[in-house]
A and B are shown apart, each in its own frame.
Chain A
Amino acid sequence: MDMKVSKKKLGLKEKYQHMTRGLGWETTYQSMDDVFPFVKYEGIKIHDWDKWEDPFRLTMDAYWKYQAEKERKLYAIIDAYAQNNGHLSVTDARYINAVKLFLNGISPLEYMAHRGFAMTGRQFPGVGPRVACLMQSLDEIRHAQTQIHSISNYNKYYNGFHEYRHMLERVWYLSVPRSFFDDAVTAGPFEFMVAIGFSFEYVLTNLLFVPFVSGAAYNGDMGTMTFGFSAQSDEARHMTLGLEVIKFILEQDPDNLPIVQQWIDKWTWRGYRVLTLVGMMMDYMLPKRIMSWKEAWEVYFEENGGALFKDLARYGIRPPKWLDQIEQDKDHISHQAWATFYNYAAACNFHTWIPTDDEMDWLSQKYPNSFDKYYRPRLEHWREEAKKGNRFYNKTLPMLCQTCQIPMIFTEPGDPTQICYREVDYKDNKYHFCSDGCKEIFEHEPEKYIQSWLPVHQIYQGNCFNEGVDPTAEGFDPLAAVLDYYHLNFGRDNLDFEGSEDQKNFDEWRGMATKNV
């Protein structure tokens, strides 16, 4: 980069002071409580909003300059990718399915993050946090737009990318990431900041972006690498903001501690559950593996998160709850998730497969305590059955966890052969949970979570068929009707990778790219 650095009139700290202080005022025509109606009900006490400091001290002039530079770099690469058929340089076409998961399941959350920070910024009476929320809100809409734009690198060529917006509100597994963000934006402003700014951005986002985006580069996908790193370049700022939020709230009043602690417990667990999808992508969907989910967890959660919580101990914060279970789960969740998608591949907008022998050996080596004992035999069995023509696609709808909305696929802490079930009776109904964490989160706010839109319940209630469909008609095929409602094309978007149109096209196009035909 060759950017002229002009002589500064003010130092960074002075400039930040001038741009973020003294801009607010006490309202008189309307009471402050009416102007900022959500800032007190969560119980958080703030005495001095000016104590807020943004460590990066970014102001809008610098913000536009650097964001513009990021956009120029991003679009130069997107153009180059399109012009050079970049999609044909990926390791193998199975990889594209990881991108499907990302662009369908994660990118729309960027838009919700944008809305969340815009709403939250509006609710804070302090100028410092308001400016910080404004910038993050702008960052997030940039992420949403660049990622939506990036879909065009793939949807011209591969199936399953055609209707991310329609699918987000309908497809069963997409309710997992979607409900996570919906849960956060329907919380109060302080909870949103702890949920997304701290627990998600600071504690968990490295696991989403860093190994996965580096993995995209490793698998030859410059398109994903470039939107991923472009988004991630804002992330360091978001993480710093997330940490600042926690320190600010805790330093303002000792009464804030128990409220914040409960949010940290809740949102670390909620985010951790969503990341199951990322674990599966890393262990099963990247043809060239970069690091295992377990290794990424150890570096980015145990090591970094450990340092963070040791640091926050001076405020009385302890590490998030259920860590003992999380610690055991790292050997299992990616395998359990892939097995589930392999089972339900008929109802997915991406393809599944059984790992090759080499890939299974890699998994054995990375998961010496679990893979050969619990997961390899099952995969080999399924492979044998498929070879004999008995590929089994599960058409029975699974029971979902009321909180995280993931099917009940996780196992008991301490016993990976036993599915974990928890239940709660509340107002004449029984609610089901995948874990103690999800159960406790529900018990704390039952009135919120009884309203969850659970895809399986909705299908059984008849709410997931197109208009005019008669479920009582003879020969009614519920799966076909649900796929129609999802706008998912049977035989093109779903089922195994082996034999798919994606596989066939990729082989043919790659052949054309290297030979004269």
Chain B
Amino acid sequence: MSKVFIALQTNDDTRSIIQAIMADNPHAICNEQPAMVKIDAEGSLTVRRSTIEELIGRDFDLQELHINLISLTGHVDETDDELTLSWNN
């Protein structure tokens, strides 16, 4: 199975986002690098709005991710509730 990843800047906004991603994707591996965090996952990775909202205690628009996003791989499927990265193999 191929790996997908998402990389985010390390800052106050992303701390809860990263925590949410790790909670929703137990198979993911979090790599901390200077000023950034790269989360790798076999097959697919899902970012869920509700989990982030629970952690930050306010409404969150998944498109806010763009502000701190560094990079990603895989096909992107985004709805109002979830953003999923995956490969078809």
Contacts and interface: CB of A to CB of B under 8 A. Distances in A.
B71 A290 contact: no
Contacts of A57: 78
Contacts of A214: 33-36
B60 A5 contact: yes
B78 A3 contact: no
A314 B35 contact: no
Contacts of B66: 56, 58, 66, 233-234, 236-237
Given A307-B2, A314-B88, A239 B79 contact: no
Contacts, number: 108
A66 B67 contact: yes
Contacts of A239: 71-73
A62 interface: yes
B34 A308 contact: no
A56 B73 contact: no
Contacts of B75: 55, 243, 311
A441 B27 CA distance: 43
A117 to B, nearest CB: 18
Nearest to B10: A217
Nearest to B38: A210
A38 interface: no
Given A310-B89, A311-B88, A233 B2 contact: no
A304 B7 CA distance: 13
Interface string B66-84: 1111111111111110000
A218 B69 contact: no
Interface stretch (A6-14, A78-86, A501-509): A6-14
Contact of B77 (A55, A58, A73, A209): A55
Contact of A235 (B36, B70, B76): B70
A306 interface: yes
B67 A210 contact: no
Interface in A163-182: none
B70 A232 contact: yes
Interface string A302-346: 011011101101100000000000000000000000000000000
Interface residues of B, number: 35
Contact of A310 (B9, B67, B72, B87): B87
A287 to B, nearest CB: 13
B35 A225 contact: yes
A355 B9 CA distance: 31
Interface string B11-24: 00100000000000
- Among A3, A8, A215, A307, max chain B CB count under 10 A is at A307
B59 A5 contact: yes
Interface string A224-258: 01000100111111011001000000000000000
A236 B89 contact: no
Given A1-B13, A310-B2, A310-B87, A12 B73 contact: no
A401 B60 CA distance: 52
A70 B70 contact: no
Nearest to A7: B59
Contacts of A290: 33-34
B50 to A, nearest CB: 13
B40 to A, nearest CB: 9
A206 interface: yes
A235 B71 contact: yes
Contact of B64 (A3, A58, A234, A235): A3
B1 to A, nearest CB: 9
A55 B71 CA distance: 15
A440 interface: no
A232 B87 contact: no
B54 interface: no
Contacts of B71: 206, 209-210, 232, 235-236, 239
A17 to B, nearest CB: 13
Contacts of B79: 11-13
B78 A56 contact: yes
B17 to A, nearest CB: 11
Nearest to A12: B80
Contacts of B5: 304
A206 B89 CA distance: 22
A210 B80 contact: no
A443 interface: no
Contacts of B33: 214, 290
Contact of B78 (A55, A209, A233, A235): A55
Given A58-B66, A206-B71, A229-B36, 5 more contacts: A5-B61, A210-B7, A217-B36, A225-B35, A310-B87
7 contacts: A1-B13, A12-B63, A56-B63, A56-B66, A233-B9, A311-B89, A313-B89
